[in-house]
Amino acid sequence: MIQELKQGYGHIFEEALINEIAQVGTFKEVSEGYKLMDIGEYVRGMPLLISGAIKVLREDKDGDELLLYYLEKGDTCSMTLTCCMGDAKSEIRAIAEMDTKLIMVPVQKMDEWAAKYKSWRNFIFESYHNRLNELLNTLDSIAFDKMDMRLISYLKEKARINEGNIIKNTHQEIAYDLHSSRVVISRLLKKLEQMGKIELHRNFIEIIAL
């Protein structure tokens, strides 16, 4: 575990902190689709991502979903952070977007390290900052963009996360993430194909030039 830690976090955490994390943290490997956290659950630990990606979702009262953002290597879940202190319930759902490696740190350590290590404080603050900005971007997109632009952003982001130009999702799945309907997404995807930006196949989409 210490190797993975040094590789992913060695440049931001001092050695003493890395060692503390290694002592109390537990290494975890989850496969695609694994639900790490659900709305209303209590938070057990704080995840430090080593590799892979986690999809963070919001749900409304009718069970409709909306993709908020992805967590990647070097990220942590800031929702977790504050849930530690008060024992608040999670406001979001987190699902592994692909096979993912991470280290779970017990929540009690958070405050202890915040007093002790400047690098840890910076990490926490930066993490919050990043999450706030991701949320703002998502919000911008929903508030200011029409569905066609949102779909293009979605495809781009998905391709970036998966490091390729193939998006392995059905139209229905995309519709869930964007909180729209399958017919609308199919319609817009077809337009993008006619413009030569993508190619549609069964169960996957190929990005040509977005």
Q: Which residues bind its own copies (CB under 8 A)?
A: 58, 60-62, 64, 66, 68, 78-79, 81-82, 85-86, 88, 91-92, 111, 114-115, 118, 121-122, 124-126, 128-129, 131-133, 135-136, 138-140, 142-144, 179
CA distance linking residue 3 with residue 22, whole number of Å: 10
What is the maximum span of the chain, computed from C-alpha positions, in angstroms?
Answer: 58
Q: Which of residues 153-192 bind DNA (CB under 7 A)?
A: 170-172, 179-184, 186-190
- CB 126 to its own copies: min, Å: 7
Shortest distance, CB of residue 196 to DNA, whole angstroms?
14
Nearer to its own copies, 89 or 168 (CB): 89
Residues written for the chain: 210
- Whole-number minimum distance, CB 128 to its own copies, in Å? 5
Residue 81's binding partner among its own copies, DNA, none (Cβ under 5 to 8 angstroms by kind) is: its own copies
**Pick from 123, 120, 122: nearest CA to 109:** 120
Instruction: Provide the token pair at 127.
Output: 């993490």
- Using CB under 7 A as the binding rule, the residues of this chain from 119 to 148 that contact DNA are 146-148
- When the beta carbons of 30 and 81 are compared against its own copies, the nearer one is 81
Give helix 108-116 / helix 118-144 axis angle, nearest 10°: 120
Strands (E), the chain: 26-30, 35-37, 45-51, 53-59, 65-72, 93-96, 100-106, 166-167, 198-201, 204-207
In sequence order, the 6+-apart residues with CB closer than 8 A to the CB of 156 are 207, 210
| Residue 95 partner contact from its own copies, DNA, none using kind-dependent CB cut-offs of 5 to 8 Å | none
Task: Give CA torsion, residues 106, 111, 117, 120, to 10 deg.
Answer: 60
- Minimum distance of its own copies from residue 89's CB (angstroms): 11
- Nearer CB in complex with its own copies: 136/183: 136
Angle between helices 171-178 and 182-194 (to 10 degrees): 110
Task: Kindly tell me which of 118 and 187 has the beta carbon lying closer to its own copies.
Answer: 118
Applying CB under 7 A, which residues contact DNA?
Answer: 146-148, 170-172, 179-184, 186-190, 193, 200-204
